[in-house]
Structure 1
Amino acid sequence: MNNYKEIFLGTAFSSQSPKEIQIMQNHLFCINADGMIERVVAPEDADYQPLLDAYQGKDNFHSLAEGQYFLPGFVDLHVHAPQWAQSGTALDIPLYDWLNTYTFPLESKFSDLDFAKKVYEDVVSTLLANGTTTALYFATVHKEASLLLAEICAHKGQRGLVGKVVMDDPQQNPESYRDKDTTTALKDTEEFILAVQELAKSTKQGVYPVVTPRFIPSCTDEALQGLGELAAKYDAYIQSHCSESDWAHGYVKDRFQKNDAFALNDFGLLRDKSVMAHCNFLDDDDARLFADTGTAIAHCPISNAYFANSVLPVAHFHSIGVEIGLGSDISGGFSPSLFDNIRQAVISSRMLEDGVNASLPAQHRGVPGSRITIDEAFYLATAGGGESLSLPIGRIQENYAWDVQIIDTKCPSAKLLIFNENEDLHDVFQKIMYLVRPEHIREVWVQGNQVHTR
């Protein structure tokens, strides 16, 4: 019998497929020293009882209490870490004004490492407490502060993918907040990549550098080309914004006479390790290009309601073969919880299908076939995110990282509405998805290590 580092006993929910939930009732989850799920053992398996006999009562045996369940840790594909300091403000103005009046002045303050440390430590801790075990972060233009964010992720145990933002175009960015020039932007990016790769050597759960042009309007052609070359040189992740709003989408069409997707691809910025936020205005040719290059979409349903001028057609893009995960888009999205974004993803899809203009006849009001279920939205926040990053995360299955959140439905201050002990487990899952708040998340584990407890 193998000598496992940890064994957990309990009922888990995980995505079997984009549309199906796998329910593992009273299973054993055997975790090795690398923090990976080495075995999942069902009650009917021959060695279930021998494993129980061997480990029960030991310090490394963990049994869930009644009313507790395992969920995979969430994968947040789009977080502006510095914007945590302004979360919940100024969401009633247009994107362009929001960036220039609030966001860029805030991000410019991250040249102060003491201020950066205060904000970054809080956002990483907050996301972990909300069940987010992996986060894809935009930092700022400041190389040192961006590296500090990666170091904080490493220290707190979160799997962090961090990008030093590039904004080098003096015509499009405020003088108070931009890269000094294109050469400096590319040099700082390369030095940042090398520093994070060195940090990753001593980080069990992994930290990763991400090539990060903020979006096409903020970058010169030379910077976009150079960033594509750096991503290829170091096989690095890439993130940016793509076709988010009428304004951003229209700007790129005016500049390049093509949509964002094809413009980004021309600079080598669409590849298997690319994640593009929003993408609401992709047409079918754009979506097929995403599918062909392995580029994923970070769907940000709360943020989109404020700034994107449209609803992402998740079901349609999935049918074309595009990988899609979920993003909070702090602070364009006010909530650090992917539970909230799961709920909004379902709501938005229903509004897209049914339409919102009551003056139109029902048959002309919406886009048929657009709705997604709560099971599908959960997939986006977990397995979909893992697939978007090409990492073995987001599922509770063998050969995946033990990244989990333990949900307590009997939390004394906020019991969930489960009155029948024999309630159908899929119904319990749905109630968790719709009703859980942060206080229900009792523990969070990343790569086999406990990183949060309540």
Structure 2
Amino acid sequence: MTEFAHVFHGTAFTSRSPKEVEVLKDHLFCVNEDGMIEKVIGPEHREYQELLDTYQHTSSYQKLADGQYFLPGFIDLHVHAPQWAQAGTALDIPLYDWLNTYTFPIEAKFEDIGFAKKVYNDVVETLLANGTTTALYFATVHKEASLQLAKLCAEKGQRGLVGKVVMDNPDQTEAFYRDHDTKTALAETEEFILAVRELAKTTKQGVYPVVTPRFIPSCTNEALQGLGELAAKYDTHIQSHCSESDWEHGYVKERFGKHDAFALSDFGLLSEKSVMAHCNFLSDEDADLFAEKGTAVCHCPISNAYFANSVIPIARLQSRGVEIGLGSDISGGFSPSLFDNVKQAVVSSRMLEDGVDSKLPAIERGVPESRITVDEAFYFATAGGGESLSLPIGRLAENYVWDAQMIDTTVETSKLPLYDPEEKLHDIFQKIVYLARPENIREVWVQGERVLDRGTGSSSHKKNIEKE
């Protein structure tokens, strides 16, 4: 029999499809030294008892206690890491004013490596504590500080995809916070790509460089073209903002005479490894282009409620074959928890379908077929995120990475209302998604390594790697 590094025993919830969560009751999850799930074995399988007999008295075996469940680790596709320093601030002013009055001055401070390390250390730890095992990060224009973020992800065990931001357009960016010039921006981006790729050689869970034009308004044509060429040269991930608000969407139409999607495509910035945040104003033609290119939309439901000037028709985009993931958009979104963003994604979709103007007749009030279910929103936060990044993450299934969060519904300070021993497991799943708080997340695993342990009460012979 194959020797496994870990055998986890318990009930898990994972996405079977974009619309359906699968309940794996009392299963064994067999994880190899590389952190990959080699086997998922149910009680009815002929190997089940043999595996139990082999492992249950070894240090490799961990069985969940009553009231504990596994979920896949969350995948946050849009985090402005430096903005953790301003989270919860000034969310009541327009996007353009918010950026120039608060965000850009904060980000400019990251030229100070000591300040950058302090904030980045906190944001990585905070996301891990909220069950986020993979994060797609915007850093700042500062190459060394951006590299520091990648190093912290590597050290703390989070799978980090990090972008040194490019902002070289003097017409839309202030002198105190932009790249020195286009040539410098492109040269430092290439140096950053090479440095992160070198770091990745010694990082089990992976860290990845990401080509990151902040958004079209902040970049010159030359920078956008050069970044597209660098992404192609090094086969990197790409991230940016796309058709987020009335102001940004209108700016691009005026500058190029086309929507963001087609402008970005012209510069080589839409690919299977591209993730575009927000995308509230995508037309059907834009969505079809995304589907054709394999480019994903990162839905940021909390942030959109403050800055996007609309509710994104996420169900329509999904129906047209666009890959969808979920993002917190710290700090346009105030919460570092994808649990909160899953809930808001469902709420926003319901409001879009039902409408918000009570003066209108019900038949005219909303947009039909706009709602999504909690199963779908959970998919966006897990499997959809993995597909968006073209990585084998986001599912508790064979040939996927063991990225997992262990949820304890019995924690004294945040017990979930579970009283019926015959309650359906899918109903328990829904209660977890809607009611769980960070203290319910007792363990977090990334690539088969435990990176958070709050003390679980589970049956395990494995020593704690890290105590919070």
TM over 0.5: yes
**Deviating more after overlay: 54-63 vs 10-19:** 54-63
Distance 1:414 1:135 in 2: 26
Tell me the secondary structure at the aligned position of residue 10 of structure 1.
strand
Q: 1:17-76: CA deviations, max 9, x gaps?
A: 001111000000000000000000110111111111111121110000000000000000
Aligned to 2:341: 341
**Within the alignment, does 1:368 sit opposite 2:368 as a pair?**
yes
Equivalences for 1:96-245 in 2 at 5 Å?
96-245=96-245
Structure 1 residue 106: deviation in Å?
Answer: 0.1
Distance 1:8 1:85 in 2: 37
Distance 1:452 1:126 in 2: 11
Q: 1:62-104: CA deviations, max 9, x gaps?
A: 0000000000000000000000000000000000000000000
Aligned to 1:293: 293
What code does the residue aligned with 1:130 have?
Answer: N
Structure 1 residue 110: deviation in Å?
Answer: 0.2
Structure 1 residue 420: deviation in Å?
Answer: 1.1
Distance 2:318 2:42 in 1: 32
**Within the alignment, does 1:401 sit opposite 2:380 as a pair?**
no
What code does the residue aligned with 2:126 have?
Answer: T
Distance 1:325 1:272 in 2: 13
Structure 1 residue 315: deviation in Å?
Answer: 0.8
Distance 2:154 2:267 in 1: 31
Q: 1:401-438: CA deviations, max 9, x gaps?
A: 00000000001111000001221000000000100000
Distance 1:218 1:201 in 2: 32
Distance 1:62 1:342 in 2: 29
Aligned length: 454
Kindly report the root-mean-square deviation, in angstroms, between the aligned alpha carbons of the 2 structures: 0.4
**Within the alignment, does 1:279 sit opposite 2:283 as a pair?**
no
Distance 2:247 2:355 in 1: 23
Which blocks of at least 5 consecutive residues in structure 2 are unaligned? 455-468
Distance 2:323 2:304 in 1: 18
What code does the residue aligned with 2:138 have?
Answer: F
What code does the residue aligned with 2:299 have?
Answer: H
Aligned to 2:9: 9
Aligned to 1:28: 28
What code does the residue aligned with 2:243 have?
Answer: S
**Within the alignment, does 1:326 sit opposite 2:326 as a pair?**
yes
Structure 1 residue 171: deviation in Å?
Answer: 1.4
Aligned to 1:74: 74
Distance 1:390 1:61 in 2: 30
Distance 2:253 2:39 in 1: 51
Q: 1:299-334: CA deviations, max 9, x gaps?
A: 000000000001111110011000000000000000
Aligned to 1:93: 93
Which blocks of at least 5 consecutive residues in structure 1 are unaligned? none
Structure 1 residue 170: deviation in Å?
Answer: 1.2
Distance 1:435 1:107 in 2: 34
Aligned to 2:47: 47
TM-score by length of 2: 0.97
Structure 1 residue 360: deviation in Å?
Answer: 1.0
Taking only the aligned residue pairs, the percentage that are identical comes to 74
Structure 1 outlier segments of 4+, above 3 Å: none
Distance 2:241 2:408 in 1: 36
Tell me the secondary structure at the aligned position of residue 412 of structure 2.
coil
Aligned to 1:421: 421
Aligned to 2:384: 384
Tell me the secondary structure at the aligned position of residue 413 of structure 1.
helix
